[in-house]
Amino acid sequence: MRVAILASGNGTNFEVLAKHFQSGDIPGELALLFCNHPDAPVMKRAQRLDVPAESFTVKSCGGKQEYEEKLLAVLQKYQIDFIALAGYLRVIGPTILRQYDHRIVNLHPAWLPEYPGLHSIERAFADHRSETGVTVHYIDAGLDSGPIIAQRRVPILATDTVETLENRVHETEHHLYPEALAQVLAKEQD
């Protein structure tokens, strides 16, 4: 399985996954990082980890449809079989969904179906919840609504700030995502 990771920002989850691919803990080959922000720190991480990387913006393509068509062409050029989203802050549209049906997974920093979309950690904290979580799920046409693969709870402590909660959520992501992705890709290869 040739896997692409799509990311938009800092790339800590990308780096965790890349190291698990390189060590053989996740089956398959990490063949591509795609980032929709050419100057994002994840691009430097990919370079340091020797992972091929491509980047362009919606604006540079002239619109969402053209962007998706160009991204699909990049995925096909690299012969990508499976996609993992790691902080990719764009909704995947029908052009890519059709080609990769049930072959795109996402990591979301909440216990779905609670807090889909952006700012999930901040919203859970502001609601004074006792816990939140992390979810790995397949992508469908809805917003964070695809079938759930794995979840793990993260307590919200009385002493937490948004920053300390965010750190614990990210730590949980760094453990859950490689485990879940390894299981999914092992099944895909059977």
How many CA atoms lie within 13 Å of 154's alpha carbon, on the beta-carbon side? 29
The angle that helices 162-189 and 12-23 make with each other, rounded to 10 degrees, is 40
Q: Going from the N-terminus, what domains does the chain have, and what CATH number goes with each?
A: 2-189 (3.40.50.170)
Instruction: Specify whether 108 is catalytic.
Output: yes
pLDDT confidence of residue 151: 98
Task: Report the pLDDT averaged over residues 17-39.
Answer: 97
Distance CA 133, CA 67 (A): 32
Q: What average pLDDT does the segment 26-31 reach?
A: 97
106 among annotated binding-site residues: yes
| Residue 64 annotated as binding site | yes
- The overall average pLDDT reported for the chain is 96
63 annotated as ligand-binding: no
Which of 37, 102, 108, 170 is flagged as catalytic? 108
Average pLDDT over residues 20-29: 97
- pLDDT band at residue 189, thresholds of 50, 70 and 90? confident
Helix (H, G, I), strand (E, B) or coil at 62: coil
